[in-house]
Amino acid sequence: MLEERGRVGRPRSERARAAVLHAVDDLLVEIGYAAMTMKGIAEKAGVGRQTVYRWWSTKAEILFEASAADASHELAVEPTGEALDDLVAYLEALVHFLTRSPAGAAYRALLGEAQHDVAVAELLASKDILGDSARTVIERVVREDTPSIPVDLATALLIGPAFFWITSGRDPARLVARELAETFLRELRIREPR
């Protein structure tokens, strides 16, 4: 289907596409999201402006694509066999992602724009990076086949407190992942004994 559309004429350059994504990665670290412009991206990538617009229509789309893969990777934690340790590791990864990682900075910027830009909100809704990563850990911790707690509620309970802490500008150093993990696990076990 995709190939049929572009059967005629010069094919799109994957090279140009990769150069743009790479440029965005660099610029994000060098100058930050706010100072990033479509103009700057094109120049940094050594690519025509029209070429950028041919692949993506907004800065948000490029950034999302450039950081989504990194994000999923950074939020994946190895199972330890111990529920509490898994949760602690996940929350620490989450906090590190949100506060230290370039991909996390991109995610926060996008999440910010989503608050007053419907297009960005829909973009973010298309791939629930935080929710997916949390779901993986939660399903690992919850052994029952039919958990008594809805997964998305559990997601909000697990992620919510840390997420609020960070995005509302509180000091990450004062956030104790183990405490949040214990609280969450306690709640889980009250609802689901054994």
Determine the interface stretch with DNA among 43-51, 126-134, 153-161, 170-178 (rule: CB under 7 A). Answer: 43-51
* Partner that binds at residue 151, options DNA, its own copies, none, CB closer than 5 to 8 Å by kind: none
Distance in Å, CB of 176 to its own copies, minimum? 8
Nearer to its own copies, 15 or 116 (CB): 116
Residue 130, number of CB atoms within 10 A of its CB? 19
Tell me the torsion sign for CA atoms 166, 171, 173, 175: negative
Partner interacting with residue 80 (select from DNA, its own copies, none; CB below 5-8 Å by kind): none
Identify the residue among 38, 61, 65, 121 touching its own copies (CB under 8 A). Answer: 121
Shortest distance (Å) from residue 127 CB to DNA: 22
Contact between 40 and its own copies by CB under 8 A: the answer reads no
Task: Name the residue type at position 13.
Answer: S
Consecutive H or E run containing 135: helix 129-141
- How far is the C-alpha of 81 from the C-alpha of 140, rounded, in Å? 9
Phi/psi of residue 174, nearest 5 degrees: -90, 5
Three-class SS string for 13-78? CHHHHHHHHHHHHHHHHHCCCCCCCHHHHHHHHCCCHHHHHHHCCCHHHHHHHHHHHHHHHHCCCC
Residues lying near its own copies in the complex (CB under 8 A) are found at 32-34, 105, 108-109, 111-117, 121, 124-125, 128, 130-131, 152-153, 156-157, 159-165, 167-170, 174, 179, 183, 186-187, 190
Residues lying near DNA in the complex (CB under 7 A) are found at 6-13, 16-17, 19, 37-40, 46-51, 53-54, 58-59
